[in-house]
Amino acid sequence: MSLALDALTTLAVSVGAFFFLAGTVGLLRFPDALSRLHALTKADNLGLGLVVLGLLFQVEGPFAALKLISVWLLTLLAGATVTQLIARTARPGGPPV
């Protein structure tokens, strides 16, 4: 049983890590700020989600699981906010005044 769980964890975390890598490559390769943000957020939200999913197989008790999921949700929310703010300042012509 635990072997199967470990395998699932390894798989999910590995796929998550791949998405992080893809996001980082996008950050470095894409031409302008907005498309970089696009690449970064998509990949990171998915990547982190998969990592959290993978770790869920390892937790003891529902409280720890809840904690992991709220970490993911809070990160999603905070990431979306920061992306909005950065996108606004990075817009051609600078921030609206």
Partner 1 sequence: MAFDSGLAVLVLGVAVWTIAARDTFAAVVGFVAYGLLLALAWVRLAAPDVALTEAAIGSGVTGGLLIGASTRLRRTETAAAGEEPGPTLRLAAAVLCGLVSAGLAAIVLMLPEPAPTLAPQAAANIAATGLGNPVTAVLMAYRAIDTLLETVVLLLALVGVWSLAPDRVWGGFPGPRHHADPDGVLTFIAQLLVPLGILVGIHIFWVGSVAPGGEFQGATILAAMWILAMMAGLVDAPPVSRRWLRLLLIAGPAVFFAIGLAGFAMAGAFLAYPVEYAKLLIVTIEIPVTLSIAATLALLVAGPPERAPHR
Contact residues toward partner 1 (CB under 8 A) are 74, 77-78, 80-81, 84-86, 88-90, 94-97
With respect to partner 1, which residue has the nearer C-beta, 8 or 87? 87
Contact 54, 9 (CB under 8 A): yes
Question: Least distance (Å) from partner 1 to the CB of residue 4?
Answer: 27
Question: Least distance (Å) from partner 1 to the CB of residue 28?
Answer: 11
With respect to partner 1, which residue has the nearer C-beta, 5 or 82? 82
With respect to partner 1, which residue has the nearer C-beta, 35 or 84? 84
DSSP string, 7-73: HHHHHHHHHHHHHHHHHHHHHHHSSSHHHHHHHHHHHHHHHHHHHHHHHHTT-SSHHHHHHHHHHHH
Question: Least distance (Å) from partner 1 to the CB of residue 1?
Answer: 29
